[in-house]
Amino acid sequence: MRDATVARSYADALFDIARRTGDELAFATAFAALDRLLASDPRVRNFLATPKIDVAAKKSALRGALHGKVPPLFLNFVMVVLDKRRQRILREMSIEYHSLMDRHLGRLNVRVTLAHEPDERAEEEITAELSRILGSKVISHIDIDPGILGGIVVRYGDRILDASLRRRLLNLRERLLISAGPVLV
């Protein structure tokens, strides 16, 4: 849990700088470039994570890889992250930064679980209705889980809206058991 808190603090600081300089989108794009670099080869991640490798070598490698591709202020941020030996949570910082960016732009990332794959029109209707209900521009990420039987489960932030058929059946079962009272054998 501590890593998430630290990542959020770094992302908050960078987002504050980005807002003051008007570089919010440029920094989001820079984080995407850094994410691609880290995802491109496990050796890159291992190189950055290995404590036996000198920080100066890591800085030199990242400067070479990112120079001209990211804003200088963002590159300075990455150098500070290396100085503080927080490079293993760069990915979490990126996730937190993008979350701040979405909030700033009034967007809400929502995980939507359905029992069956929706067609394009149904997916658009779900997104539009969720945008209306939640009062934000919703970006839907659809998951399929036949175990919910039908209906929909919506997750955003730390909230879950469960309107699945499975949940309804479990609630009905509970009500029936409560109304039946204790069973004597």
The per-residue pLDDT for 37 is 87
CA gap 85, 148 in Å, rounded: 43
Per-residue DSSP letter, 99:
H
**Torsion angle of alpha carbons 35, 27, 71, 80, nearest 10°?**
-70
Mean pLDDT of the chain: 91
Contact 141, 107 (CB under 8 A): no
The pLDDT confidence band at residue 2, using thresholds 50, 70 and 90, is: confident
Nearest by Cα to 101 from 25, 158, 157: 25
Q: Within 10 Å of residue 166's Cβ, how many Cβ atoms?
A: 16
**Res 16 pLDDT > 90:** yes
Q: Residue 8: CA atoms inside 13 Å, Cβ hemisphere, count?
A: 6
Go through the domains of the chain in sequence order and give each one's CATH number. 2-103 (1.10.520.20), 107-180 (no CATH)
Q: What is the pLDDT of residue 183?
A: 63
Beta strands 137-144 and 107-114, pairing class: parallel
Looking at residue 179, what is its pLDDT? 86
Query: What is the SS3 assignment for 160?
Result: strand
Q: What is the pLDDT of residue 185?
A: 57
E-only strand ranges, the chain = 107-114, 137-144, 151-156, 159-164
Mean pLDDT within 32-54:
89
Assess whether pLDDT exceeds 70 at residue 184.
no
Mean pLDDT of 141-147: 93
- Mean pLDDT confidence for 29-55: 90
pLDDT for res 38: 87
**What is the tens place of the pLDDT at every residue in 101-138?**
998 988 998 999 999 999 999 999 999 999 999 988 99
- Helices then strands, each counted (H, E), the chain: 8, 4
* pLDDT per position as a tens digit, 56-86: 999 999 999 888 899 999 999 999 999 999 9
